[in-house]
Every structure is written in C-alpha cells, then in structure tokens.
Amino acid sequence: MLEINHGHIVTVASSLGLFSTAGVEDYCASKFGVVGFHESLSHELQAAEKDGIKTTLVCPYLVDTGMFRGCRIRKEIEPFLPPLKPDYCVKQAMKAILTDQPMICTPRLMYIVTFMKSILPFEAVVCMYRFLGADKCMYPFIAQRKQATNNNEAKNGI
C-alpha cells in the first residue's frame, strides 16, 4: 500500500471505543485502544503524504450477535435504540468505505453522544448516561453470565 500509495484500511471498533460504560472495562479499554491505533495510523499516513491510502473507522452501537445478550438500556429508550442487525452494520460500513468516509457511527445518535462527552463536564455525562440507562446497561448481561457460569460449575461439580 505504501509503495503504490493506494488502498483502504478499515478498522472495526465499537461505540464503546468512543465512550464507556460500567461493567465491561476490559472490553471498553480494548476498543479505546483500537480507536487510538486507528487515529494514530491515519495521522501517520497523512504526515507521510500517502493520500491514496484511505482509512475508515467503524463504530457500531450494540450489534445483535448475542455477545452482549441481556444488555439493557432504559426501557423507555430501548424502542429508539434497539440492538442493530449485523447486515445493517455491514451495509453502513460498506457505504462508508465506498465513499471514503473516515468514520461511521451507527446509529447516527452515537455521534451526538460522542460530541456531548467531549464538551460536557464529566458529571453532566454521568447524568446523561443515567438518563439513558447506559450507566448500568451491562449489569443484566453480567448477571446472566454469572448465572450461566454458576450453572456450569454446579453441573460439573466444581
């Protein structure tokens, strides 16, 4: 890519690489790392004047793959922010790649959350998370995982 100054690098992260929530610190930290690596690589390509190499950062909200089954935001908000279908995320990512869009957040509301996080004081962001139910959205997921682990241990006599 560098030799011919042509190509496209796509980095798949998560909205949890742009803002975090309680209970999945390890996941958030890894996604923050992915976002930071992508930004650094993009700056490196620009500094090297490799404008023929495009980059796209993909940051979807909760994707309905079962990975975080049980994750729940505030019930009044859930109809407006349901888990995303995998094929929808792929279509949005492909549109972004084919139009050389540097970043795609799905749904678009994620841009607003990211923007608000960057301009509001931490305490205001906490209030926003609490209003949305995002501050503890992973707790039901974690409880389900613990229950499944306990059931497996009991089944196996551990």
Catalytic position from the list 27, 88, 111, 139:
27
27 catalytically annotated: yes
Q: Say if residues 1 and 44 touch (Cβ distance below 8 Å).
A: no
CA distance 71 to 132: 13
CA distance 157 to 47: 58
The dihedrals phi and psi of 121, each to the nearest 5 degrees, come to -65, 155
Burial 118-146 (b: 16+ CB within 10 A, else e): eeeeeeebeebbeebbbbbbbeebbeeee
What residues act catalytically? 27
